[in-house]
Amino acid sequence: MTRSHNPVRSRRGQILSLPPRTHTHSTGRLMEQASEQSPVSVATSLSRPEVTLAVTRGAMRCLRALGYSVLSEVVLASGRRADILALAPHGRILIIEVKSGFEDWRADSKWSDYAAYCDALAFAVAPDFPADVLPTDLGLIVADAYGGAVIREPIETPLQPARRRAMLMRFAALAADRLQNLVDPITDEMLR
């Protein structure tokens, strides 16, 4: 996730990508800034599934603004389901695990299995999520329903060529299937 010197803003004026100089602040201060910039706190009076949907949408918007192609709800070869699979123009594969709240974080540790399927792993959380509980070697996106901000870049560990090819093929096939289902929803039923 490369950064520009000027923040990338959504149509609503919300910051999608922070300039490099913000790295000097603590993550806690950045979380406060992200919360102040959000028109509505994501977790305010929303159910857990609604928070998850809002954070997923905002994180995907943020990644799209940064040039990534994104898919949500991707089943990996292990049978695990990645919340967001993102592909950079240069081929970097990023998996984003969306956390709707601290309870979700405590109850679910399957995200550690995702490292075998990506070059980098990151979390996407709501502005009021306690970011200090998240591992510091993984990326962090703070998002709401309108957009998000990359707070911390993940440490990259390149995939092996065979796994990269398999993931790229999975990404392409899934994207094509989803597009075809939009054009002709009956096609999926006909193939069963």
Residue 3 lies in a domain: no
CB 115 within 8 A of CB 157: yes
Instruction: Give the domain extent around 73.
Output: 8-185
What is the pLDDT, as a whole number, of residue 82?
A: 95
Q: What is the pLDDT of residues 162-172, one digit of tens each?
A: 999 999 999 99
CA 184 to chain centroid, in Å, comes to 28
Residue 44 lies in a domain: yes
Residue 121 lies in a domain: yes
Q: What is the pLDDT of residues 10-24, one digit of tens each?
A: 445 544 444 333 333
What is the pLDDT, as a whole number, of residue 56?
A: 96
Residue 124 lies in a domain: yes
pTM for this predicted structure: 0.74
Residue 190 lies in a domain: no
> Is the model's pLDDT at 40 over the cut of 60?
no
Domain total for the chain? Answer: 1
